[in-house]
Structure 1
């Protein structure tokens, strides 16, 4: 008997957006590397890419996540 062959079964009401198939799916049918979620509704899952883009933009503009070394400053001073 092979180890780790058991497939993850999704729970009803958990929605995912599959990046490979570009569609909303109930339960984790595709591998985790290919999906966003879980979301509470199919509508939330449908907007997964927009949600990710908004979060990425917030992260890129959040000064708490960008220290001086990331900007190329050695001593933290800005010119």
Structure 2
């Protein structure tokens, strides 16, 4: 899943080397923390959050086969 998030986000940003995904796994949930360069935040979020929503939709669909709930947090 980490690879999927990086594959989606890196072509969108100007600084792909600053894209990092950290994973926090708990009993009933897995949280992915996506961090990008401060100047790329607008590109990852998109107008009215459309790009971020689309990324989350793909990640949630890909993780639906797992028994745990998946969350994606985006930060700088």
Q: TM-score, normalised by structure 2?
A: 0.26
| Higher RCO, Cα 8 Å, sep 6+ | 2
Query: Which structure has the highest strand share of the two?
Result: 2
Largest Rg, 1 or 2: 1
Q: TM-score, normalised by structure 1?
A: 0.25
